[in-house]
Amino acid sequence: MGHYRSNSTNSHNFTLTFDNEKIGELIYQKWYSFAAKILMTNGKEYQLEPRGFWESTIELKEGEAILLEFKMGWKGIVIKTYFDNEEKHFLLKLKGLLSNKFVLLDDNNEELMVAETDFKWSKLNFDYTIETTQNFDNFTNEKLLLLSVLHCINYYMTVIVAAA
C-alpha cells in the first residue's frame, strides 16, 4: 500500500509526494480552470485539456497522444485510461454522501485508492492524503494516474460548487 500526500501551495499548484519525496506537480493556469499541466520529476510534461461544448470531457495528453480521459457521470467521474495501448475503466466517487473521501474503483467495483480532502480555511485551498492498494501500485503509470485523479477531484468539487 502506498501513502501519498498532495499539498497545495496556492489554489493553482499541487505537489504530490511519497515518503517526503516529490513525484510531480499538478499546475493550473488560473483558478477554477479545467486546463492544467502535470510535471513529473523525471522531466516529462503532460497537458490536461477540456474538450466539448460544455468542456465536459477532460483529456490527458502527451503531445497529441491521448493517455486518459474523464467526464462526470451519474455515479461519479468515469475515467478511461489508454496507457500502453490498453483501455481500462475506473469510477471515482465520494465514499459517502457527506464525506470528504473519494474512492477509485475498477471494473470489478474493487477499491484501488482512497483520497481524503483536507480544506485549509486559512489558505482557501485543499491538501490530500492518499492511500493506494497493492493492485493500484502495480499499474503502469500509477503516479501519473494519481495526479490525474487529483485533477478529477478538483474538477468534481468545482462542478459541485458551481451547481450549488
Residues contacting residue 97 through CB under 8 Å, at least 6 positions apart: none
Domain ranges of the chain: 2-163
pLDDT per residue of the chain (164 residues) written in tens, 0 to 9: 899 999 987 778 999 999 999 999 999 987 667 899 999 999 999 999 999 877 789 999 999 999 999 999 999 999 999 999 899 999 999 987 778 899 999 999 999 999 999 876 555 577 899 999 999 999 989 999 999 999 999 888 877 766 65
Class of domain 2-163: mainly beta
- pTM reported for the whole predicted model: 0.92
